[in-house]
Amino acid sequence: MKKASPPRRASIVSIGNELLSGQTVSTNAAYLGERLFAISIPIVSSYTIGDEIDSTVRALKLASSDADIIIATGGLGPTDDDLTRQGLAKFLGVELQLHNELLDKIQNMFARRERPMPERNKIQAYIPAGAKAIDNKLGTAPGIMAESNGKLFFVLPGVPSEMKQMFEESVLPELQRFAGSQAIIIRKLKCFGTGESNIAEMLGDLMQRNRNPLINCTVEHGVITLCIVAAAKDKNQAEKMAEKDEKLLRNILGDLIYGVDEQTLAEVVGEKLARQNKKIATAESCTGGTLAKLLTDIPGASRYFTYGWITYSNDAKISQLDIPRDLINKYGAVSEQVAQAMAQQARKKADTDIAIGITGIAGPDGGSEQKPVGLVYISVDTGSGCETRRFIFHHNRDSIRLRAAQTALNMLRLRL
């Protein structure tokens, strides 16, 4: 294969009835997307089809009209509904050929498991004429690599563990030779504290589609990810462009940016607590342990997290945190006063530097005109002062609870 100069592009074909009927969520395409993106081969399209020879032929045609590298997964098993190798052979216009060395391997694999090879596994030793087998260390089905009209085709099993092992060991080294003349660098900035459209407003023209670096924006549970994709002739230049944009975004967004790449709020807060050698306690009502769970999701959380209370009932608030019953009667359990008392009492009882109190109405029931579902008070007591804020969160119970816990972490982050 000649070293072509235009940038390489890839297309994915995922094959399997179970993918269409929703019995399986395919993670293979996302995995391949991320791995290929990292070597500057963007995926431009992805097709999911059922286990049929003609669908396979059609999808391979479409994929090869989009891209020079086509990776198909699934349909290499031994059962009658696995028809990908037949589909590939038909697409290439060649016959399937039995490879005795592959048959030996498959028989040996069964022998090691002390089982006879079922007759139907023999099909896995067939490869389209002119194509090559790709070794499968974890299962019986070898993969297939073929070249046609200057395009490269890889067919891998659908089982994620086998697919990944074979991709990393056999496909990736092959592709790295073709990693285009274009270098792509990706930087992710994680933001919290405002909405997607607000961020877009702040960034203005920077988010234009024809810009390089391209800035993409995705949002999940209130965390906004800005993805800077810089393309240049060489890696160095792409890195410089991405760096320049990162600075630009940091100038505009300031402390809305809490981290980079895959960092979570809990991770960033945990790092700050550990670095500053501070301990934290939590007192939760409506979030019912969500905040403590997020904090302790992080390995090594015991360096800073010591105590947590889930005072779900009024009695628990009174008996465990000594919140005065009068305070609850006067202002209600969901109030600024009770949130603040929860934080202050937790800090005192746990003898920590910091404590967070959360009280609110997660719903779906329990709301009123004055105190609607979604109303949450969050109080952060850092010893040098107690900040208590009122929020109205939306959507549903899960979302209200998660946003409340994340917002508490964000309030704390801004004070550390």
Chain positions 140 to 169 lying near its own copies, rule: CB under 8 A, are 140, 159, 161
Query: Segment contacting its own copies (CB under 8 A): 35-43, 146-154, 170-178, 337-345?
Result: 35-43
Tell me: does residue 218 bind its own copies (CB under 8 A): yes
- In sequence order, the 6+-apart residues with CB closer than 8 A to the CB of 115 are none
Structure tokens at 282: 């939590």
* Peptide bond before residue 364 is cis, with ω within 30 degrees of 0: yes
From candidates 176, 236, 276, 313, binder to its own copies by CB under 8 A: 313
CA gap 84, 13 in Å, rounded = 10
Q: Is 107 in the site for its own copies (CB under 8 A)?
A: no
CB burial readout 206-239, b (16+ within 10 A) else e = bbeeeeebbbeeeeeebbbbbebbbbbeeeeebe
3-state secondary structure of 187: strand
Which burial class, exposed, middle or buried, applies to 6 when counting CB atoms under 10 A from its CB (0-12, 13-18, 19+)? exposed
| Interface positions, 252-291, toward its own copies (CB under 8 A) | 282, 284, 287-291
Q: Exposed (0-12), middle (13-18) or buried (19+): which is 149, by Cβ within 10 Å? A: exposed
Site string for its own copies, 394-413 (x = CB under 8 A): xxxxxx-x------------
* Helix (H) or strand (E) segment spanning residue 200: helix 196-203
The correct pick among 365, 369, 370, 384 for binding its own copies (CB under 8 A) is 365
If one asks whether residue 78 binds its own copies (CB under 8 A), the answer comes out as yes
Q: Does 118 bind its own copies (CB under 8 A)?
A: yes
Rounded to whole angstroms, the Cα distance separating 315 from 24 reads 45
Instruction: Provide the minimum distance between the beta carbon of 174 and its own copies in the complex, in angstroms, as a whole number.
Output: 19
Is there binding between residue 369 and its own copies (CB under 8 A)?
A: no
Window 293 to 312, contacts with its own copies (CB under 8 A): 293, 295-297, 299-302, 305-312
Binding of its own copies by 29 (CB under 8 A) = yes
Note whether 292 binds its own copies by CB under 8 A: yes
Residue 209 CB, shortest distance to its own copies, in Å, is 6
Which is nearest to 345 in space by CA: 304, 284, 291?
A: 284
135 in contact with its own copies (CB under 8 A): no
To the nearest whole angstrom, how small is the minimum distance from the Cβ of residue 219 to its own copies?
A: 8
136 sits near its own copies (criterion: CB under 8 A): no
331 binds its own copies (CB under 8 A): no
In this structure, the strands spanning 354-360 and 386-392 are unpaired
Binding to its own copies in span 170-199, by CB under 8 A: 186, 195-198
